[in-house]
Amino acid sequence: MKTALDFFSKRRAGILLHITSLTNSLGNGDIGQNAELFVDFLSASGLSVWQILPILSS
């Protein structure tokens, strides 16, 4: 069984991208089809980390 420490056992690369940067039909981003396509792009590019900023609601 893998533990959380296994994630840190090797060097990784990734990107910081806020969810609202991914467009959808409403104009702002969400965790939907475009997010899935973005994750596929990250994987194809050899990246393994997607860091997202906190989502605040008002």
Domain regions of the chain by residue span: 4-51
Tell me: pLDDT of 3 over 80: no
Nearest to 52 by CA among 44, 38, 40, 43: 38
**Does the predicted model carry a pTM greater than 0.75?**
no
Cβ 51 vs Cβ 14: under 8 Å = yes
12-52 tens-digit pLDDT: 899 999 888 888 777 777 788 888 999 999 999 999 999 98
Are the C-beta atoms of 45 and 15 separated by less than 8 Å? no
